[in-house]
Structure 1
């Protein structure tokens, strides 16, 4: 039976050994290829069901998130999360009722995030609960099905392995490249004059703190200070590129001077999220449309593995590994192992699957 291409990419990503916060932004789009959804999020939780950190492709702003904590956490998340942890099945699904949509929670959380249908999974590693994965669909989409639930359940062991890696400080890598960007127009003090739809989410990741409803109110106070500090740095060295390394990965700020609509001097700040080299290689192999076997071999070659090491990784003979390597060379039109990394890197372009 052939494997779904997204499943192959998902497995590769989860075997890279990267910290969970760095992995999630690349992992969730691939997961949504396997189980179609409009967006997704992962919630790291403590034993009592409190959210200690989260990454979501759509996020409430700090004010709304703080309100979520004050009015909804115990009722809408904590209790239901603990019930899911205690359930025999790790996955569950539901659709939002009309009454729920018209209530406070619907108006303040579900509506702004475009959520009408939900698919949940409790992710574990070696028996330890890591948190909850949530997939979402909007009101114009069909409800999640039993097949969707089964597809998600079939990859939970990969997710458990990938998301169990802790978050050490990341080493600098000159081969990192921008795979996601946001733009904001700021005044000299860092006050926001205009921002695109990605800015609020990426600037919070670059800020580096854990993202959780309980800390959102404090974040509302500290985030402007962080932006102001970044502005001070980029204005003091206008030709430099300012980098920030956090548990969420590596971020880069570039300054572009311009004038606001009122004629005042303003700064356009381009914020880029950079991809770690292993992520780029896996994404490039997916974008090139290689077969599942070829993807795995191409990434292993690009990461410097010999034929013998590839054979060990894939549990095949050295002769079989050598055959697969030749197939990859032929498919990519290269003649040297060193060229594989370049081809995969050029093909990645921030895409998660073909």
Structure 2
């Protein structure tokens, strides 16, 4: 039995590795990866989502077996009723996986997420979550769910999901490269000026009561739902602002990549002059390099020591100055830079600085660089 399980896992790793190597956009990769996961960890519903590692807000989500109609309730429960398998908690665990039933001795319905969200609205009860880390930060998350009449998730299934993390991370990085490639061709959507900010007012039920033409163009880039439903990042950042007003320590901002590959920064605040109202003002603008560089370094799997060198390079420091400031040799500086060049897919400091300081820019060989990292993981998966 153990041998068969190992063989099944290795086959699944090869399948996910192949998907990552294909360089699919996130939604396509997540959909295909979910089918692979369902073959080894059967489930009735699933969520695979990209995550802003700083705010913890989901930015691009693939779902099966449930919808996004209750995203505001989800983030409210996630941020105000913490349990042992919140995404932030799992990020600090070596395996990055948690089974809700293992931590709730009083029964699953004693946790608000099951009692108020999963059971009454989706007829789901059992939950297993995992995080996907790159560069030491959470860049994506996975939630698997089963109906009440099904058996709960097991430790073996948790180990199986954990064993896919490195290849899911490779898929996230490959999808980022694919998005950056799109941005290199289409730097801005028609009608949206570079670095132009816009605002919209979000009602409590998750709809906009007024938008400008520029704001609407941004919403179109982020992808809204039917009937004028706002994109999930907008609804979630608005809910985070309401929670902050209620005294919860949350961050009402998120960086989200658009369908055209550009990064946008979303910030939310209560509508001033409207006391007692749940209406929220969301500001949307192209993200600056300051807001995206660390996120890009996470996606490229740049190590903490390497990114110390990168920050110095972006600031304009030379090799000697970097070596002095970081108390390392000039040879070590060069070794770190060679590693970063390979991961990012550039050949020089100038190209590196350009890619990291122009959100949405595409280096001349960005695909090759990221592909090399992915292919290395592919080979490891096949051995």
Scaled to the shorter chain, the TM-score interval is 0.3 to 0.5
TM-score, normalised relative to structure 2: 0.42
TM-score by length of 1: 0.45
**Structure number having the greater strand percentage:** 1
